[in-house]
Amino acid sequence: MKIYTRGGDQGKTSLVGGERVSKADERIEAYGDVDELNSILGYLGSLLESTRKGLAGEIRKIQSDLFLVGARLAAAPGGRAARRSSKPLPRAMITSLEEVIERMDKDLEPLQGFILPGGHPTSALAHVARTVCRRAERRAVRLLDLVSEGKGPLSDQEVVAYLNRLSDYLFVLARYCNHIHGVPDVPWDPVDEE
């Protein structure tokens, strides 16, 4: 299989189902953010693989789930691929994140205030993933807004819910990475400007 096709050289790409759209289309932006998130999680998983195989395995599962999310965002509205993927994302994708959040949270000290992203490098990278996840969530919400305005492509509430829960998971994971590496969270200490 050839990697390059030259099909995108004019600034267009194909959605699942064949519709050609601008590479700046809202759907491309949305699933591009999901792809970026998936790559960051791949890096984070590789850093955890040697010492925390369970966490690395959870991250690989999330990466697989993100392919489903990306496919939902990449399906041309009204096309056969969109109809095939029109059933909601499995609720288990969200509940499994909630279960893992609760499991990790049991080992963490209660938050006393805001924390700065940082600490152990795996924690910092989980925070980077969280911010990219929030951007992907905002893009998915924008797709929903366009649909409600009668101007836009199909998206679905389950994608938004999944990305919202995933960003929660990534925040807790960042704290958990600090915890398992014996590094304290970095509390935010607002500077008095007087």
Q: What is the CATH number of the domain that holds 167?
A: 1.20.1200.10
Tell me if 4 is assigned to some domain: no
Q: What is the pLDDT of residue 99?
A: 97
d(CA 165, CA 189): 27
Tell me, yes or no, whether 118 lies in a domain: yes
Parent domain of 59: 20-186
Dist CA 91 CA 118 (whole Å): 32
Whether the pLDDT of residue 76 is over 90: the answer is no
Does residue 114 fall inside a structural domain?
yes
CA distances from 177 to 69, 76, 108, 137 (A): 25, 38, 10, 23
Higher pLDDT, 79 or 49: 49
Please report whether residue 38 resides in a domain: yes
34 vs 31: CA distance, rounded Å: 5
Tokens of 155: 């998206």
What is the spatial distance between Cα 36 and Cα 66, in angstroms, rounded to a whole number?
10
Task: Name the more confident of 109 and 26.
Answer: 109
Burial 83-95 (b: 16+ CB within 10 A, else e): eebeeebeeebbe
Residue 168 pLDDT exceeds 70: yes
Is residue 12 assigned to a domain?
Answer: no
How would you label 107-135 residue by residue, b for 16+ Cβ within 10 Å and e otherwise?
eeeeeeeebebebbebbbbbbbbbebbbb
Residue 151 lies in a domain: yes
Domains contained in the chain, number? 1
CA angle 120, 126, 132 (to 5 degrees): 145
pTM of the predicted structure, to 2 decimals: 0.86
Q: What residues pair up with 75 in beta bridges, in sequence order? A: 16
Q: Is residue 27 part of a domain?
A: yes
Residue range 36-65: average pLDDT? 94
* pLDDT attached to residue 150: 63
Q: Please report whether residue 61 resides in a domain.
A: yes
